[in-house]
Chains A and B, each alone.
Chain A
Amino acid sequence: MTLREDQWAEAMRAERRGDAVAYDRLLKEIAVVLHRLIRSRLAKFGLSMAETEDVVQEVLIGLHSKRHTWDDTKPFMPWLYAITHYKFIDTARRLRRDAARRVNITMEEMAEIFEAPTEDRDWALLDIDRHLADLSQGQRQVVRALGIDGATVRATAERLHTSEGSVRVLYHRALRRLAAKARRDETP
């Protein structure tokens, strides 16, 4: 640990002297560590590991744009930790908000759903089963609960013992997949 502290602090000092090679190597090493660290934490935030790269990049940009605030007579790791923690929380919050917004259904969409013709009901149900077969177990449960049974996100999250965030993410993924499949079906 102290070895890493010394190496990274030295690389940060090298950056100030304009040493692009040392800085490049430092950022790569930090990215590897961040990747491992952030991957394991994202699930707790109701986000999928697919967002890891986004968060890593945000931390790197934050580190880069605020690198002048590090006091080179003090340890580098506490500084890096504070920046990482802040950018992780900040980005995770933003991603979760975005996911929630994408899944939100507008009043117009609701009205369309209610006014849609209801004949061929049984066929529609059969179709639903056929389409849902393509989804993963978790996605299927969420789509069934939210899209067909009309349950709330919270109730679904409780029933499936998971967070509201991950229900939203699952639902969003499932819809994207169904949409992609629908496009494929239309253009044979």
Chain B
Amino acid sequence: MAAATQTDDLIARLAREAGSGGGIGPRALTAILVVAALGGLGLAMALVLALDGPRADLAAAVYRAPFAYKVAGMLTLSLGGLFLAARAALPGSGRLNLAAFLPAVLVLAFRAATDRSGLSVMGNSDISVHECVLTILGVSLPPLAVLLGVMRLGAPTRPALAGAIAGALSGGLGAAAYALACKNDAGLFVAIWYPLAILVMATLGAAAGRRLLAW
């Protein structure tokens, strides 16, 4: 019976704190998450420009299909990730259905299937794949840190999955930013190596989330 009294004491103590819950509410948290994603994208873009500089033909490339597909694919993925991240940070707000990433997969697949440019899957040079994957990972890390920090304000009830979602989202933002520098326009290059980098980010995010998002 001693344990039950302890519980009553605990309840009395908690009840006295009624009305003093000063945390950030669900709608504010969702808004902060959107701002954090935009800020993360800006951060990643600044890093890409600082590390690699823009691709030489950027001014012309932005009006052509390869660039548009890259950015559209990665931003679609980021939108899906943002939707899931808000859900993951707020308990009871619905299932974390990974189908939210499906539109992005469709964009990438459509581009890969309709690409008639004949450009190589391995990119323009021997180091294209390395450079692309490593740069995306590098520029995605700051957004990941920001997003994890924001999600800690909520109450993720599946910390590892929430972290993986934050990782995928930051990977999508990093990859969208990397389009500014990436000279490899083959549809298959973008459909294989970009998602690979994003998967690595999701794995990293899961490992980080398991520790940082537990409460």
Q: Do A and B come from one complex?
A: yes
Task: Closest A residue to B12 by CB, please name it.
Answer: A24
Contacts of A77 in B (CB 8 A): 92
Contact A28 B21 (CB under 8 A): no
Contact between chains at A74 and B92 (CB < 8 Å): yes
Question: B64 contacts the other chain (Cβ, under 8 Å)?
Answer: no
Residues 72-122 of B contacting A (Cβ, < 8 Å) = 89-93
Contacts of A74 in B (CB 8 A): 92-93
Binds A, one of B133-141, B142-150, B154-162: B154-162
Which chain B positions have C-beta within 8 A of A178? none
Return chain A residues, CB-CB under 8 Å to B154: 66, 69
For residue A80, CB closer than 8 A to chain B, the reply is: yes
**Cross-interface CB contact of A71 among B8, B16, B90, B215, cutoff 8 Å:** B90
Choose one: B19, B92, B158, B214; the contact of A15 (CB below 8 Å).
B19
* A19-B89 Cα distance, complex, nearest whole Å: 27
A57-B6, A57-B10 given; A64·B17 CB < 8 A? yes
Across-interface contacts of B19 in A (CB, < 8 A)? 15-20
Interface SS of chain B: helix, strand, loop or mixed?
A: loop
Q: Tell me which residues across on chain B come within 8 A of A24, comparing CB atoms.
A: 11-12, 15, 18
Count the A residues whose beta carbon is within 8 Å of the partner chain — how many?
Answer: 41
When chains A and B are docked, how far (Å) is the Cα of A23 from the Cα of B24? 20
Number of interface residues, chain B, beta carbon within 8 A: 34
Stretch at the interface among B25-33, B48-56, B170-178: B25-33
* Bound complex: CA A54 to CA B215 (Å): 16
Which of A82-90, A128-136, A140-148, A150-158 interfaces with chain B?
Answer: A82-90
Cβ–Cβ contact B92 & A80, under 8 A: yes
Chain A residues with CB under 8 Å of B29's CB are: 69
Let me know if A69 and B14 touch, CB within 8 A: no
Main secondary structure of the interface of A (DSSP, over half): helix
Asked whether, in the complex, the Cβ of A20 is within 8 Å of the Cβ of B7, the reply is: no
Q: When A56-B7, A71-B25 are in contact, do A20 and B91 touch as well, CB less than 8 Å?
A: no
Asked if B22 and A53 sit within 8 Å, CB to CB, the answer is no
Q: How far is the CB of B87 from chain A (nearest CB, A)?
A: 11
B15 touches A20 (CB 8 A): yes
Q: Least Cβ distance of B190 to chain A in Å?
A: 37
Assess whether A86 is in contact with B21, with CB atoms less than 8 Å apart.
no
Q: How far is the CB of A64 from chain B (nearest CB, A)?
A: 5
Distance of A178 from chain B, by nearest CB (Å): 23
CA A28 to CA B10, docked complex, whole Å: 10
B21 nearest CB across to chain A (Å): 5
Q: Does B157 contact A27, Cβ atoms closer than 8 Å?
A: no
Contact partner of B214 (CB less than 8 A), chosen from A22, A68, A90, is A90
What's the least CB distance linking B4 to chain A, in Å?
7
List residues of chain B with CB within 8 A of the CB of A28: 8, 11
Complex Cα distance A66/B90, Å?
10
With A18-B19, A61-B10 in contact, is A53–B3 under 8 Å at CB?
A: yes
Inter-subunit contact B157/A86 (CB<8 Å):
yes
Look across to chain A and name the residue whose beta carbon is closest to the beta carbon of B29. Answer: A69
Q: A67 at the A/B interface (Cβ < 8 Å)?
A: yes
The residues in A between 88 and 104 inclusive whose CB is less than 8 angstroms from any CB of B are 90
Residues of B within 8 A of A17 (CB): 19
Report if A31 contacts B (CB, 8 A): yes
Cβ–Cβ contact A60 & B92, under 8 A: no
Bound complex: CA A179 to CA B26 (Å) = 52
Tell me if A138 is interfacial: C-beta within 8 Å of chain B: no
**Can you list 13 pairs linking A and B with CB atoms under 8 Å apart?**
A20-B18, A21-B15, A27-B11, A28-B11, A57-B7, A65-B215, A69-B25, A69-B29, A71-B26, A78-B93, A83-B155, A86-B157, A90-B214
* Smallest CB-CB A-B distances: 3 pairs: A18-B19, A68-B23, A79-B92
